A = this chain, B = another copy of it.
């Protein structure tokens, strides 16, 4: 069995260990030499070039992805060459365009923040006026980790984005959403295989800083009342959009206790890294099983609590292992994950997970372990 992954980032990297364990061959099309997933990179090339992608994929049983950015015309050529693509082009189209995502979520009856497609400052002003004078403007394509997202409180607050917008992206429109009064952010991950089975991990809480995931606590503390609703929502979305592989549903828990869908991702997700140690089946193993249409593994948690803390930045030019003599001594039960990247301020270079019976203890140890790399 052979899986081809387009994109050589840390998500592809973290698919390698379960592929080795299961005896599945993983081939990665990386963007550059020395990528995070370099050990499995059998090709280096541009994922926007159809010939490159089709040549890479010719000998694999299925193609999957480290990111959502492969253009639809490239996916169409892959499909025409008879290569299974999971998630498929139709599902990926939803993940690639936030306006189209809102349309599809609305059609599925999924609860979402109030939103509109706005083509100019006047339309944006109308939306703001109707929603308390504030909103969140998002570029429909290409945003990540807080980029392409901006809180606006005036009609001219997105003029620069209107001026630069690619008219072909989404009919020349930006997405604007109400500024949700939320208590906290949650995430529900699930995996679906082509034959329809879905397996969902526990609902988790994610703590964001500057639009970037900083910490994840599994399960979400006090989330019992929301568990069934979140699981049903993820299952409905996965089935409705015919997602194959891992689906991440980022959620707001509103001040009045409702769940609203914030974003979707159709691949392993930062809010699921805790599953490597914290669940019987990790999101990376499950993604491989799902895209190969193999039976899904048990997503049950392996500990009462799992806390994941991202390692962001650190002194430029260093790598995480440079600090191991102190960090590993300081937290012998923490699990360290380094992505093979040199540090830059704010760059995700790795993460740390601690599992245990006591949430406060696990959290403080995970923070301490990650802290060794961040000053």
Q: A13-B20, A23-B321 are in contact. Are A300 and B1 (CB under 8 A)?
A: no
- Name the distance in Å between A323's Cβ and chain B's nearest Cβ: 11
**B23–A39 CB distance below 8 A:** no
Contact check: which of B280, B289, B320, B324 meets A333 at CB < 8 Å?
B280
Q: In this complex, what residue of B is CB-closest to A26?
A: B39
Quick one: which of A4-28 are within 8 Å of B by CB?
13-14, 16-17, 20-24
Q: Which among B21, B298, B302, B338 is the interface contact of A23 at CB below 8 angstroms?
A: B338
Determine the distance from Cα of A289 to Cα of B334 in the docked complex, in whole angstroms: 14
Q: Is A339 an interface residue (CB 8 A)?
A: yes
On chain B, the residues within 8 Å of A45 by CB distance are: none
User: Quick check: is A90 within 8 A (CB to CB) of the other chain?
Assistant: no
Contact of A20 among B1, B39, B298, B329 (CB under 8 A): B39
Q: Is A297 an interface residue (CB 8 A)?
A: yes
Q: Is A295 an interface residue (CB 8 A)?
A: yes
Q: How far is the CA of A116 from the CA of B298 in the complex (A)?
A: 52
In the complex, the chain B residue whose C-beta lies closest to that of A13 is: B20
Given known pairs A20-B13, A280-B333, the reply for A295 and B325 (CB within 8 Å) is: yes
A350 at the interface (CB under 8 A from B): yes
Is B21 a contact partner of A17 (Cβ separation < 8 A)? yes
Identical copies of this chain, number: 2
Let me know if A368 is at the binding interface, CB within 8 A: no
Interface string of A37-56 (1 = CB under 8 A from B): 00110000000000000000
Q: How far is the CB of A198 from chain B (nearest CB, A)?
A: 13
* Nearest-neighbor residue (CB-CB) of A300 within chain B: B333
**Which residue of B16, B20, B297, B325 is within 8 Å of A328 (Cβ)?**
B297
Bound CA span A23–B294, Å: 29
**8 Å CB interface, A297-311 against B:** 297-298, 300, 302-303
Q: Provide the A310-331 mask, 1 if CB < 8 A to any CB of B, else 0.
A: 0000000001110011001100
**A340 at interface (Cβ–Cβ under 8 A)?**
yes
A335 within 8 A of B: yes
Centre residue among A22, A329, A338 by max chain B CB count within 10 A: A22
A297 touches B333 (CB 8 A): yes
The minimal Cβ–Cβ distance linking A168 to chain B, given in whole angstroms, is 39
The CA of A328 and the CA of B197, in the complex, are separated in Å by 13
Closest residue of B by beta carbon distance from A292: B324
**A276 CA to B20 CA, complexed, in Å:** 13
Q: Give every chain B residue within 8 A of A335 (Cβ-Cβ).
A: 21, 280
Q: What's the nearest-Cβ distance from chain B to residue A355, in Å? A: 8
Q: Complex formed: what's the CA distance from A304 to B295 in Å?
A: 27
Decide: A332 near B21, CB < 8 A? Known: A39-B40, A321-B1. Answer: no
Instruction: Tell me whether A344 is interfacial, beta carbon within 8 Å.
Output: no
Other A-B contacts than A17-B20, A21-B336, A302-B355, 5 sampled, CB-CB below 8 A, are: A1-B321, A22-B338, A23-B321, A295-B325, A302-B303
Cβ-closest 6 pairs across A and B: A23-B338, A17-B17, A295-B329, A295-B328, A298-B333, A298-B332
Between A and B, 29 residue pairs with Cβ closer than 8 Å are A1-B321, A1-B324, A13-B20, A16-B16, A16-B20, A17-B17, A17-B21, A20-B39, A21-B276, A21-B335, A21-B336, A23-B319, A23-B321, A23-B340, A24-B321, A39-B39, A280-B335, A281-B332, A289-B328, A294-B324, A295-B324, A295-B328, A295-B329, A295-B332, A297-B328, A297-B332, A297-B333, A298-B332, A300-B333
